[in-house]
Amino acid sequence: MNSASSPARPPERSVKLAPSLLSCDFSRLGEELAVLGGEGGADWAHVDVMDGLFVPNLSFGLPILSAARRVSPLFMDVHLMIERPERLLRDFAGAGADGLTVHVEATAHIHRAVGQIKELGKRAGVTLNPGTPLEAVRPVLGDVDLVLVMSVNPGFGGQRFIPGSLERVRTLRRWLDEIGSAAELQVDGGVTPANARALADAGASCLVAGSAVYGPDGARAGLARLRAVLGEN
């Protein structure tokens, strides 16, 4: 079992990178996905779905996910920032999601939502806002394939990382290790080369990054900068 003071994961274990398509050029979605799927590309594509209710912003939904699925074999990691996600899990699974992550604040029945995702044959993820106590996800830690620590208040790309998130990653790493869970521990929001190494050392196994990947020199360069600090060039 890892303690908070020792490195939470063996250094040789690689960290997945999941660029958030929210920051890509939607007019060139196919090309953007080809870059992510090519050499020096991404492990997963992170798909941010916002409903204008759970979060104060709208992004995109089923047609964009279907289009991405048609042109890319990448793992589609769908982050549902929507109220009562149970209503739409089947539709997102049908549109090509490989993993579906739901917010614990968005449903009164998190066990049921996680069970439904698994029944659909998809990887089930649970996430929580920065202001939600970690205890809210503890009852389902043994049931999920992924736990996502939101390190910004969800709804927008390009926000600053909330520093207290690092300790939340450490705690969740410890809890997952204590129950022998191999679930992915993902972090989303304000991830940059300045904090990626610390997040990996805290026990994160998958980093989502939007604005840090889609800089002026393109996604491949952004991914290379993150891999460099992770020692995985």
Restricted to residues 174-213, the positions that interact with Co ion (CB under 5 A) are: 188
Which residue among 51, 77, 145, 188 is the active-site one? 188
* Category of 134 on φ-ψ map: left (φ > 0), alpha (ψ -120 to 50) or beta: alpha
188: annotated active-site residue: yes
Q: CA 92, CA 182: separation in Å to the nearest integer?
A: 24
Restricted to residues 22-51, the positions that interact with ligand 5RP (CB under 6 A) are: 22-23, 46, 48
Q: Does 89 bind ligand 5RP (CB under 6 A)?
A: no
Give the number of C-alpha atoms closer than 13 A to the C-alpha of residue 124, restricted to the C-beta side.
23
Q: Does 32 bind Co ion (CB under 5 A)?
A: no
Q: Is 211 annotated as a binding residue?
A: yes
Q: Does 208 bind ligand 5RP (CB under 6 A)?
A: yes
Give yes or no for a contact between 74 and 18, defined as CB atoms under 8 angstroms apart: no
Q: Is 201 annotated as a binding residue?
A: no
Q: Is 156 annotated as a binding residue?
A: yes
Restricted to residues 94-153, the positions that interact with ligand 5RP (CB under 6 A) are: 152
Q: Does 77 bind ligand 5RP (CB under 6 A)?
A: no
Number of residues forming the site for Co ion (CB under 5 A): 3
Q: Which one of residues 125, 189, 203, 222 is an interface residue with ligand 5RP (CB under 6 A)? A: 189
Q: Which one of residues 79, 103, 170, 225 is an interface residue with ligand 5RP (CB under 6 A)? A: 79
Residues annotated within a binding site for substrate = 20, 79, 155-158, 188-190, 210-211
Q: What is the set of active-site residues?
A: 48, 188
